[in-house]
Chain A
Amino acid sequence: MNRTRREFLAGTAGAMALPLFAGSVFAQSGGSLRIGALNPVTGAGGPYGEGMQKMILAAAEAINAAGGAAGSKIEIFAEDTQTDPQAAVLAAKKLIEVNKVEAVLGTWSSGISLAVIPLTNDAGKILMHTSGAPALSVPPANEKGLGYRFQATNDRFGRAFAEIAEKEGFKRPATMAFNNASGIGNTEGFKKAWTAKGGEVVSEVVYEPKQASYRSELMQILAAQPDVIVTGSYVGDTTIILREWYQTGQPVKWIIPGWAANSDLVAALGADVVEGIISVDSISNEKAPSFAAYDKAYQAAMGKPGTDNVYAAMTWDMMTVLALAVEAAGSTDMAKVNEKMRDVANPEGTKVYTFAEGKEALKSGPINYEGASSVLDFDEHGDVTPDFSASFVEDGKINRRYVVKI
């Protein structure tokens, strides 16, 4: 019996269309405020996702130990986005419709947050994310004001890149962007800020994800003789790009976002290749007592210092600030909770650094939660403005040289 090409094509199409559901649920029992932890445990966000998810669990534990929020114990339902919008949407649907969660915490990468936020909006649930795309600030994505961003926008990142490029005296920047909202957001933000300073971008490339080689892209960029290449990229593609660049032997400096220029990148490429790279990241609120509390939990869960994972500090804050808003609202009704978010996070009010402190202080007046990830003051779009660090790779170490405020 011969089968036809048509069957092969149909089968292949079927394979591509099949939803790739995976992931795990480790539900706890007996709670009454249901929260979804939707993190990139696998895929490009894998280096961060596990820590992010564990910090949501750890913060929930701390809240439950302090007697819960508004009398409710927190119950976490954990899912993996696989750093893939399709998988993330399926997982979010499951969290909202099956697990009946009241909020979804900790999506990473803009493509995913943009895909998930229509679902949380429709259900009237809160989405707290760590994505940078400017589109997440405004309608339609954030039309209901239920989206909160714990990371700097890509636009703010781009501004920080431009500040640093100016400070370092670069004259001929070129940009390379991973083709998604975040990657392009970074380089567009840079271009906007750089041209506003009177500068010129000599060459720009937007490249496709998941390619075996970026040599042709590099050829085009390097032909313009830039003195620095600014990227909006992730660690996997950055590894390939830097390796191929190094092999060309053409000297150029790099400004790369911190989620790509991290210790994994250094380990993957070796000290010679990455020497002198400038890694720019938003920085956690490292001197605050809230950071110390987070750091302790992170060390216990992951065996590494909390500074390793800025996103885990963000998810820790998500759980904590949400619980404080629930406590302040005296209800788990998300409409009421949403009204309290800025009340508990922004000035005025007693500065508090943990859930237990905040719960106590709420009895006597307004509070201002100072987070582990930033001072955590939400603007009208639900965005925060962290500070940025410029770190230089020297002898295989990523050393922070200075802090940039924008």
Chain B
Amino acid sequence: MYFAQLAVNGLVQGLVISLAAMSITLVFGIVRFPNAATGDVMTVGAFSGLVVYPMTGSLLASGIFAVIVTAAVALISHLLVFRRLAGRSVVALLVASIGVGFVLRSIMGLVFGHQPMVFSMPLSRPYRIGGLAINPLDLQLALLAAVMLALAFAVLHLTPIGRQMRAVADNPSLARVSGIRSGRVLAALWVLAGAIAGAGGVMLGVKTVVNPEMGWDMLMPAFAAAIFGGIGSPAGALLAGLILGVVQEMSTPFVGFTYKIALSFAIMLVVLLRRPTGLLGRIEGVR
């Protein structure tokens, strides 16, 4: 039962990592660079939610507003920065994304200050289900994440623009000669990636404290999950994030709390050694 409880604790943490990793993996799959501004876009989401929450008192409304803001921020970063660097080396784009992250973080520092802020939610006692303590707030957050994930997968797999995105991810040149307009596809991609990061940011903000550095601190596990899941695979990122979250918590009776993070990275290492493409990644063609 103790382990089941640890697994439940880990699942909710894993969802946050999953959302961040999905945003990273989507951008990498199509624009082909690790977007280091993802964490700071999450922070933008958390602050946006924080602004709206006291006005509405609704987690859903805060989440929707945050997702709209971060989608816009991601789109603007694409239009102002990343689109102009298209075709440059991956390092140029990476450094540019670090710069975008800096700018976002500094703006938030200026506007909101560095005091830790919180969503002042009414605190509630957990539900007891067969000895498992499940927090009502965690359930709400998991629901929010599920809605966001369902939307993301629906866009990717059920809409024409999603099909086009996947086509561009698969083979940009072939996609272009097939008449796919890459400008529209890229804009849609950034909106989607921003929205997912924003949802993750709100979740993280509600669970922890909101400050301008919170998203940047998430970047490491998020990158790890993106690699672990197989770069470019949204479903892999989701799975990997959940696994990292759960394994970290389940390992604590054996390795203690100090080494739980190291252990989850060790597991990632083993998986990558056995399966270099990650959980759900494909072997990329070499030309």
Question: What is the interface of chain A, defined by CB distance below 8 A to chain B?
Answer: 1-5, 7-9, 11-12, 14-16, 18, 22, 41-43, 46-47, 49, 179, 205-208, 210-213, 215-217, 219-220, 235-236, 239-240, 243, 246-249, 264, 268-270, 272-273
Q: Does the CB pair B9–A8 fall under 8 Å?
A: no
Q: Does the CB pair A8–B117 fall under 8 Å?
A: no
Q: Which residues of B contact A272 (CB under 8 A)?
A: 123
Q: Does the CB pair B258–A179 fall under 8 Å?
A: yes
- Docked Cα-Cα span, A22 to B110, in Å, equals 14
Q: Does the CB pair B32–A3 fall under 8 Å?
A: yes
Q: Does the CB pair B212–A42 fall under 8 Å?
A: yes
Of A216, A247, A268, the residue contacting B116 (CB under 8 A) is A268
Q: Does the CB pair A212–B204 fall under 8 Å?
A: yes
Main SS class of interface, A:
helix
Q: Which residues of A contact B172 (CB under 8 A)?
A: 1
Which chain B residues in 1-33 approach chain A with CB under 8 Å? 2, 5-6, 9-10, 12-13, 16, 28, 32-33
Of B6, B114, B227, B261, the residue contacting A46 (CB under 8 A) is B114
Q: Does the CB pair B213–A12 fall under 8 Å?
A: no
Q: In the complex, how many angstroms separate the beta carbon of A315 from the nearest chain B beta carbon?
A: 17
- Docked Cα-Cα span, A168 to B119, in Å, equals 33
Can you list 24 A-B pairs with a CB-CB distance of less than 8 A?
A4-B284, A5-B227, A5-B277, A8-B227, A15-B36, A15-B223, A22-B106, A41-B114, A42-B212, A42-B213, A49-B114, A206-B257, A207-B258, A208-B261, A210-B217, A213-B9, A216-B9, A217-B252, A220-B252, A236-B209, A236-B211, A239-B118, A249-B125, A272-B123
- B57 within 8 Å of A by Cβ? no
Of B36, B123, B219, the residue contacting A246 (CB under 8 A) is B123
Q: Does the CB pair B13–A14 fall under 8 Å?
A: no
Interface string of B106-134 (1 = CB under 8 A from A): 10010001111110100111100000010
Q: Does the CB pair B118–A248 fall under 8 Å?
A: no
- B102 within 8 Å of A by Cβ? yes
Q: Does the CB pair A239–B34 fall under 8 Å?
A: no
Q: Does the CB pair B118–A269 fall under 8 Å?
A: yes
Q: Does the CB pair B284–A2 fall under 8 Å?
A: yes
- B98 within 8 Å of A by Cβ? yes
- B135 within 8 Å of A by Cβ? yes
- B78 within 8 Å of A by Cβ? no
- B40 within 8 Å of A by Cβ? no
Of B10, B117, B211, B223, the residue contacting A12 (CB under 8 A) is B223
Q: Which residues of A contact B126 (CB under 8 A)?
A: 247-248
Of A8, A47, A240, the residue contacting B231 (CB under 8 A) is A8
Which chain B residues in 188-211 approach chain A with CB under 8 Å? 204, 207-209, 211
- Docked Cα-Cα span, A49 to B211, in Å, equals 15
- Docked Cα-Cα span, A270 to B120, in Å, equals 8
Q: Does the CB pair B257–A216 fall under 8 Å?
A: yes
- B286 within 8 Å of A by Cβ? yes
Q: Does the CB pair B123–A273 fall under 8 Å?
A: yes
A239-B118, A268-B116 known; A18-B260 Cβ under 8 A: no
Q: Pick the most buried of A211, A240, A246: most chain B CB atoms within 10 A of its CB.
A: A211
Given contacts A11-B91, A47-B115, A219-B9, 12 further A-B contacts (CB under 8 A): A8-B227, A46-B114, A212-B13, A213-B9, A213-B207, A213-B208, A215-B9, A216-B6, A220-B252, A248-B133, A249-B125, A268-B118
A3-B32, A212-B207 known; A247-B135 Cβ under 8 A: yes
Q: In the complex, how many angstroms separate the beta carbon of A393 from the nearest chain B beta carbon?
A: 16
- B52 within 8 Å of A by Cβ? no
- Docked Cα-Cα span, A247 to B124, in Å, equals 6
Q: Which residues of B contact A3 (CB under 8 A)?
A: 32, 90
Q: Which residue of chain A is the closest to B230 with respect to CB atoms? A: A5
Q: Does the CB pair B285–A2 fall under 8 Å?
A: yes
- Docked Cα-Cα span, A268 to B123, in Å, equals 12
Which chain B residues in 71-105 approach chain A with CB under 8 Å? 90-91, 94-95, 98, 102
Q: Which residue of chain A is the closest to B253 with respect to CB atoms? A: A220
Q: Which residues of B contact A18 (CB under 8 A)?
A: 95, 98
Q: Which residues of A contact B274 (CB under 8 A)?
A: none
Q: Does the CB pair B16–A22 fall under 8 Å?
A: no
Q: Which residues of A contact B36 (CB under 8 A)?
A: 15
Q: Does the CB pair A12–B227 fall under 8 Å?
A: yes
Interface string of B226-267 (1 = CB under 8 A from A): 010001000000000000000001001000111011000000
Q: Which residue of chain B is the closest to A209 with respect to CB atoms? A: B217
- Docked Cα-Cα span, A205 to B277, in Å, equals 37
Q: Pick the most buried of A14, A208, A213, A240: most chain B CB atoms within 10 A of its CB.
A: A213
Q: In the complex, how many angstroms separate the beta carbon of B275 from the nearest chain A beta carbon?
A: 12
A5-B231, A249-B125 known; A16-B208 Cβ under 8 A: no
Of B123, B219, B227, B257, the residue contacting A9 (CB under 8 A) is B227
Q: Which residues of A contact B249 (CB under 8 A)?
A: 216
Q: Which residue of chain A is the closest to B135 with respect to CB atoms? A: A247
